[in-house]
Amino acid sequence: MLKITANELFDYFQEHKICESLTRAEVEVFTNYLQEKSYKAHEVISGLGDIGDSMYFIYSGKVAFTSFDGQDEADIGKQETGSLVGEMSFFDGVPRQLKMSAGRKPAMLIEITRAMYDRLKVEQPFIAVNLLENAVVSLDRLVRSVSQELSHIEHYMKGFGRH
């Protein structure tokens, strides 16, 4: 159950360019498929190896991603308010390769579970397609960011102009 109102969620979507083509009425319908999840600072949201049965909008706070090689943990990155997280494993069913946890401060996430997404696809296909499009955009941003970082690393390692 959501504590935030449909109007607050609509404003959040508009501000962060998420599901922005949904009307207020559609967002109100969408709220019936969502739930609020609050996490304390550093609290684990999803562990390494978990199968993604939920994806989340970061409503407030940050989500940190950590890798573990069996001995050491390494901070990989973070996502901030206005981001969609957890969508990769949610859609492909492959175990998560990173641990997701709240950042240094508490985080509030808006969750859609697999069961609710499956209902949404049947009952409200326009909203489901809109959510899917946002997941694609989120993954596109991730791939572009990783590609840019790899390019910078390669440039640093090889030096400018050398092959």
Amino acid at 160: F
Q: Alpha-carbon distance 150 to 108, whole Å?
A: 31
pLDDT above 90: percentage of residues in the chain? 53
- pLDDT at residue 146 greater than cutoff 70: no
Give the count of beta carbons closer than 10 Å to the beta carbon of residue 1: 7
The Cα diameter of the chain in Å comes to: 57
Instruction: Please report, for the chain, the start and end positions of each structural domain, with discontinuous segments joined by +.
Output: 6-158
Q: Helix, strand, or coil here: 29?
A: helix
Output the pTM of the full model: 0.84
The CATH number corresponding to 6-158 among 2.60.120.10, 1.10.10.10, 3.90.1170.50, 2.60.40.10 equals 2.60.120.10
Q: Alpha-carbon distance 87 to 100, whole Å?
A: 12
Range 43-71 average pLDDT:
91
Q: Helix, strand, or coil here: 141?
A: helix
